[in-house]
Amino acid sequence: MPPVNGTFCVTLMRDRCINARMPGKCAACFEVCPYDVFALDGESSVHVQNYNACVGCRICAEFCPADAIRINPAESEFLVRSPWTFPQVEEIHYKAQTGQYMLRGFGTMGRAPNFDDITIVPSQIASPAPRDKYREECNTQVVIGEDTCENPIHLQYPFLFPAMSFGALSREARMALSIGAAQTGILNNTGEGGLLKDETWLIKGYENEERTLKQWEPGGYLVVQWSTGRWGVSADYIRAGDGVEVKIGQGAKPGMGGHLLGAKVTEEIAAVRGIPVGSDALSPCRYYDVQDLEDMKRMVAFIRDVTDYKVPIFFKLGPVVPTKI
Amino acid sequence: MPLVVAVNGRNLRSVSAELKEAVAKGPVVIQDASHLHGLVAGFKKGEVVIASDCGDYLGVLNDGATIKVKGNAGRYLADNMTMGAVIVEGDAGYGVGQYCYGGTIVVNGSAGDYTAVMNKGATIIIKGDVGNEVATYMLGGDLVVVGNAGKNLGNYLIRGNIYIGGKWESLGHNTLLAEVTQDDLVRLSSYMDQHSIEADPTTFKKIVRLSEKPFYKAK
């Protein structure tokens, strides 16, 4: 499928263009364009063959000896008709015609806030106010499980990495999240893809399994997720974390379970999840082994028992209003 | 002489702590424990006999222990087991052997609905009947039902085998009645010898999956 960006308008001003007056005399734009926006026909005449492939690098405009090319941004479809942007619609057509899923990285297009955007406002009622905001240190520590377990979690900041499974993410991405959590003293979550062993030492700031090389201070916490598919779940898995998260729902697929298609299930992912290479991992929407609230309480009780009452047990709820996605 | 753990109406935390210590020393017997749910959870070894009925989630996350129940078992028997054996002399409730990766479960009586759901590799043997929605989305292992099954047996079965000696009310989506091969007969006979099952393996039917990817058109 040819590239579809649909974000730029490509204009050739034929009154200036050398090729328009004398085909074969100049084809600079065709020669320099890295994205095949231009094409030459049989008579060496230049024309725009795929303006949708233009990424706005403007190399053609710079190299045009007659300054005959204008690259202007098209009206942003993300503003005008999100989510039905041209690339999105083309992708849907492709899927409908071929019956194939598009496997690609999705990334994030939202702007994440940073500490320039965040103001910490002192509490005045829920807890004692500071004496003076200039002369008292601001401590962003959050303690989880102080009253309920032997080893509570002490986050340095009130942030955590949400669950994104090994399988949804690559090994490198999982490792990076654990290193990031170790560097900042926050929490990472395995998600429902099972445990990638390296994360158990990376999360504590160690570069190696023997834990002789501590590279990242202060070290973070790894929470293991107990979810609806139970991929890679065993007693050892439950005990490997600094906490256990009982997942009831997720925002990524509201009302549904996580789906990992077979095309993404590599040898390593298959081994960690305990399923064959290339097979789908389709989690159900809810637990087959919980039918009411009492069952849920018993489930938490046995998770506590298996972890010897040492670690905090979390709940993850994902109720979502579908129109807000 | 097995060690006796007296429950005396205590809660799970208290009884479990004592059980964990006791199994390290040798076989353990416990009874009057049907109010305890999630007993013998995540044990890597040991032998525990429950000389009465038991509650729900017995042997959840079992990773190597041998657990025997003299009476009836509650619901969710051997939930998410990875290794070991759980044997029930009486009946078992809803949801036997869900999410298991390995190990063996034997129920001498009958089992309830949703038995063996998402079983990924355990051997689950029910000498009596089973209920409805059994082996839904099963992903591996063997389910042997000597008696009859209810509705929607093997719904969206993906991997693994269902061997059934009796009748079923209905079959689920993506199932296929397959030929019982010589290998199947050898395996079935060995299950029958191991667990004293009085049945003729040649009368059993075998149900397997129809398609590996029944939800979408794969490449």
CATH code of the domain covering residue A233: 3.20.20.70
Per-residue pLDDT of chain A (325 residues; tens, 9 = 90+): 666 777 799 999 999 999 999 999 999 999 999 999 999 999 999 999 998 899 999 999 999 999 999 999 887 777 778 888 878 898 899 999 998 877 777 766 667 788 888 887 877 888 788 788 788 887 889 999 999 999 999 999 999 999 999 999 999 999 999 999 999 999 999 999 999 999 999 999 999 999 998 999 999 999 999 999 999 999 999 999 999 999 988 877 777 888 898 989 999 999 999 999 999 999 999 999 999 999 999 999 999 999 999 999 999 988 766 665 4
Q: Specify the pLDDT at position A127.
A: 79
A315 and A192 in a common domain? yes
Which B-chain residues 172-211 have CB contacts (< 8 A) with chain A?
none
Where chain B has pLDDT below 70, the residues are: 217-219
| Amino acid type, B78 | A
DSSP-assigned letters across all residues of A167-214: TTB-HHHHHHHHHHHHHHT-EEE-TTS---THHHHHTTTBSSTT---B
Helix or strand (DSSP H, E) at A97:
helix A86-98
A226 and A152 in a common domain? yes
A307 and A166 in a common domain? yes
A216 and A159 in a common domain? yes
Domain ranges of chain B: 91-209
Give me the CATH number covering residue A7. 3.30.70.20
Number of residues assigned to chain A = 325
Q: Specify the pLDDT at position B49.
A: 98
Instruction: Note the pLDDT tens digit of each residue in A169-222.
Output: 999 999 999 999 999 999 999 999 999 999 999 999 999 999 998 999 999 999
DSSP tally for chain A: helices H, then strands E: 10, 12
Query: Contacts of residue A280 in chain B, CB cutoff 8 Å?
Result: 158, 213, 215
Query: Contacts of residue A99 in chain B, CB cutoff 8 Å?
Result: 216-217
Residues A105 and A274: their CA atoms lie apart, in Å, by 24
A213 and A76 in a common domain? no
The residue among A102, A128, A156 that closes a domain is A102
Q: Specify the pLDDT at position A2.
A: 65
Q: Specify the pLDDT at position B219.
A: 55
| Chain A interface includes B65 (CB < 8 A) | no
Tell me if A228 is assigned to some domain. yes
| Amino acid type, A301 | A
Tell me if A269 is assigned to some domain. yes
A183 and A264 in a common domain? yes
Does residue B87 sit in helix, strand or coil?
A: strand
Tell me if A252 is assigned to some domain. yes
Rounded alpha-carbon distances, angstroms, from residue A218 to A53, A160, B160: 46, 15, 46
Return the residue of A nearest to B36 by Cα: A298
Q: Which domain holds residue A66?
A: 1-102
| Chain A interface includes B67 (CB < 8 A) | no
Beta strands A281-282 and A259-260 are antiparallel
Tell me if A129 is assigned to some domain. no
Q: Per the confidence metrics, is the pTM higher than 0.90?
A: no
| Amino acid type, B217 | K
The residue among A42, A77, A102 that closes a domain is A102
The residue among A102, A124, A152 that closes a domain is A102
Contact B56 A298 (CB under 8 A): yes
Instruction: Note the pLDDT tens digit of each residue in B144-158.
Output: 999 999 999 999 999
Compare CB distances from A298 to B57, B63, B219 and report the shortest one's residue. Answer: B57
Enter the ipTM: 0.96
Short-list A251, A223, A253, A260, CA closest to A238: A223
Short-list B118, B147, B154, B119, CA closest to B133: B154
Query: Contacts of residue B76 in chain A, CB cutoff 8 Å?
Result: 289, 295
Contact A229 B79 (CB under 8 A): no
Q: Specify the pLDDT at position A123.
A: 79
Tell me if A186 is assigned to some domain. yes
| Chain A interface includes B161 (CB < 8 A) | no
Give the Cα-Cα-Cα angle B133, B137, B138 (nearest 5 degrees). Answer: 100
Integer distance in angstroms from the first to the last C-alpha of chain A?
27
A164 and A75 in a common domain? no
Chain A residues with at least one Cβ partner in B under 8 Å: 99-101, 229-230, 233-236, 238-239, 262-263, 274-276, 279-280, 282, 284, 288-289, 291, 295, 298-299, 301-302, 304-306, 309
Number of domains making up chain A? 2
Short-list B134, B131, B154, CA closest to B208: B154
A286 and A217 in a common domain? yes
A202 and A93 in a common domain? no
User: Token pair for residue B33?
Assistant: 């424990």
| Chain A interface includes B10 (CB < 8 A) | no
A183 and A65 in a common domain? no
Q: Specify the pLDDT at position A1.
A: 60
A184 and A315 in a common domain? yes
Query: Contacts of residue A279 in chain B, CB cutoff 8 Å?
Result: 158-159, 212
Q: Specify the pLDDT at position A108.
A: 66
| Chain A interface includes B37 (CB < 8 A) | yes
A150 and A62 in a common domain? no
